Amino acid sequence: MNRLFITAIVLLLLVSCKEEKAKDVDVSDVDIALSVNRFEQKFYEADETTLPVIKNEFPYLFPEQNDSIWLNKIKDKEERELYQKSKAVFGDFESEKTQIKELFKHVKYYHPDFEAPKIITLITNLDYQNKIVYADSLLFVSLDMYLGKNSEVYQDFPVYLSQNFEKSQLVVDMASAISDRYFTADKGRQFLDLVVGAGKKMYLIDSYLPAVSDAKKIGYSDAEYDWAMANELQIWKYFIENKLLYSTDSKLVDRFMAEAPFSKFYIDIDKESPGRIGVWLGWQIVRSYMNNNEVTLQQLLQTNAEEIFNKSKYKPKK
């Protein structure tokens, strides 16, 4: 009896591992030329003699201003502190290059037209709304937004934001920025359209970063992700019982989709919950759809929310 039980457990683990790896693909033959230009190093080490050379190399980063303004910026105490901290955290950037190359290979695998953008690292004086900017052939990375959640430079930021100011989150934010190029939001105004649309985008990130933890992909702490998993059934019941899926109430975006310290159920579980729980739920629905239907990533992106939901066979874990 014990032997049968152990055998069953082993088989279950093997199946689970197979399902876990099914999303990964072999990208070893995908050719990517990675280009990283450390602008912040060149800029903050510049002087009157070398500044014109840097301006010529990066004209898109220098609005028309007198050189004295740029020289003062180079000497600015707070900016130099951010620069020094970024050097300490990122060093030669080699480990990040490895992660980014894997990301780009996966994107290229799913989107053959993808051309790896040139990466420009820089300091943006804590511009948290533009941590990563993907613009055509360039991808700008604000290193000062990934110095570690406990860095004193983030003391004025709320915890729900600063918890993702970790260098491990850099590649996730890159994947999210790139996914915007291939993801088109559904035109429907129902909450279901928004939830499933967000789930599609999360599934793109899933596909681009198969080795990254689910918690990091959505920007949750481990405890927040565990809470979502443990309360999946209760979350689903709340949405169904309150008839939210087919609602067009715009306030639902702020309550369940926007960056926030917690989601707004207006019940006692609020402060225990992480923000963006609607995004997390949409992700589970899309995953269920992909597990239960023989469709490609490209076909997923072209399928409307109603069809995805109806064919997902989504059933929360008890």
pLDDT digits (tens, 9 = 90+) for 98-144: 999 999 999 999 999 999 999 999 999 999 999 999 998 999 999 99
Name the more confident of 15 and 25. Answer: 25
Three-state secondary-structure class, residue 141: strand
Instruction: Reply yes or no on whether the pLDDT at 317 is more than 90.
Output: no
Q: Are 168 and 145 in contact (CB under 8 A)?
A: no
Q: Are 216 and 172 in contact (CB under 8 A)?
A: yes
The Cα-based distances of 218 to 72, 165, 171, 204 in angstroms read 39, 13, 12, 12
How does the average pLDDT of the chain come out, rounded? 92
Q: In DSSP terms, which residues pair with 42 in a beta bridge?
A: none
CA-to-CA distance for 138 and 10, rounded, in angstroms?
A: 47
Instruction: Reply yes or no on whether the pLDDT at 168 is more than 90.
Output: yes
Residue 219: name the closest of 142, 143, 165 by CA.
165
Q: Which residues contact 169 (CB under 8 A, 6 or more apart)?
A: 146, 216, 219
Instruction: Reply yes or no on whether the pLDDT at 160 is more than 70.
Output: yes
Q: 3-state secondary structure string, 141-206?
A: EEHHHCCCCCCHHHCCCCHHHHCCCCHHHHHHHHHHHHHHHHCCCCCCCCHHHHHHHHHHHHHHHH
Q: Which residues contact 84 (CB under 8 A, 6 or more apart)?
A: none
Instruction: Reply yes or no on whether the pLDDT at 153 is more than 90.
Output: yes
Q: pLDDT tens digits, residue range 178-236? A: 999 999 888 889 999 999 999 999 999 999 999 999 999 999 999 999 999 999 999 99
Q: Residue 24 — pLDDT band, cuts 50, 70, 90?
A: confident
**What pLDDT is stored for residue 4 in this prediction?**
37
The Cα-based distances of 139 to 100, 161, 202 in angstroms read 11, 22, 20
**What pLDDT is stored for residue 268 in this prediction?**
87
Give the predicted TM-score (pTM) of the model: 0.90
Q: At what angle do helices 277-292 and 305-312 cross, to 10 degrees?
A: 70
Instruction: Reply yes or no on whether the pLDDT at 261 is more than 80.
Output: yes
- The amino acid at residue 34 is L
CA-to-CA distance for 42 and 53, rounded, in angstroms?
A: 10
Number of H helices, E strands in the chain: 16, 4
- Above pLDDT 90, what percent of the chain? 88
Q: Which residue has the tokens 């023989």?
A: 294
For the chain, how big is the Rg over CA atoms in Å?
22
Q: Are 14 and 42 in contact (CB under 8 A)?
A: no
